[in-house]
A and B are shown apart, each in its own frame.
Chain A
């Protein structure tokens, strides 16, 4: 069964450093998303991406965040200067508008120290 792949599974970084979280969506999907889940809290929407541009972003997705689809397969989330409060599980998802809807990756646990 096709799946969304995320790497790394766990990343530890120092406050102020830049991190790039990587995702390979399902190959025939056209819509891509990033979500985050702070430990013990709700899954929160960050950004959606379609046709090589951001289609929607939340208030969490400020200037420190950016997304890119550098080639035909990868979809990345960059955090420019990490803060302690960026520590969370980050999930990538992709969607083909079918009834199965949104397929999620297994997540990257980001720990900012």
Chain B
């Protein structure tokens, strides 16, 4: 079945860049998403990328997509302590962008001052 995999933990110093990686199996998805979850809170849409793009930049966030390798990454520039959270890669099943979202395990980002 469909699967999404992420590394579980990343620790960086404030001001450094963070790179969170994700691999997935369903190649038919039209959009791919990154969600952020702060402790005890809900899932906040952080950014997304259309499947025919290689890169999308949104302020401090850069999403890279390698469709051939089914690899997605999220880069956070100038990481701040407020960026400490769990980051989920999420890929919809199918091409309609209405199918179930398949989530990765989540990457806990720890930002040290």
Contacts and interface: CB of A to CB of B under 8 A. Distances in A.
Nearest to B104: A42
Contacts of A106: 41-42
Interface residues of A, number: 25
Interface of B: 31, 33, 35, 41-45, 48, 50, 88, 90, 92, 96-106
Interface stretch (A12-20, A76-84, A97-105): A97-105
B98 A97 contact: yes
A106 B99 CA distance: 21
Contacts, number: 64
B101 A45 contact: yes
A104 B104 CA distance: 16
A43 interface: yes
A101 B48 contact: yes
Contact of B98 (A45, A50, A103): A50
Contacts of B102: 45
Helix, strand, loop or mixed for chain A's interface? strand
A95 interface: yes
B42 A99 contact: no
B98 A31 contact: yes
A95 B99 CA distance: 10
A101 B100 CA distance: 11
A107 interface: yes
Contact of A91 (B42, B99, B100): B42
A48 B45 contact: no
23 contacts: A31-B98, A33-B101, A41-B105, A42-B103, A43-B43, A43-B103, A48-B98, A48-B100, A56-B100, A97-B96, A97-B97, A99-B31, A99-B50, A100-B48, A101-B31, A101-B33, A102-B45, A102-B90, A102-B101, A104-B43, A106-B42, A107-B41, A107-B43
Contacts of A103: 45
A42 B106 contact: yes
A33 B100 contact: yes
Give me the 3 closest cross-chain CB pairs, A-B, nearest first: A106-B42, A104-B43, A43-B103
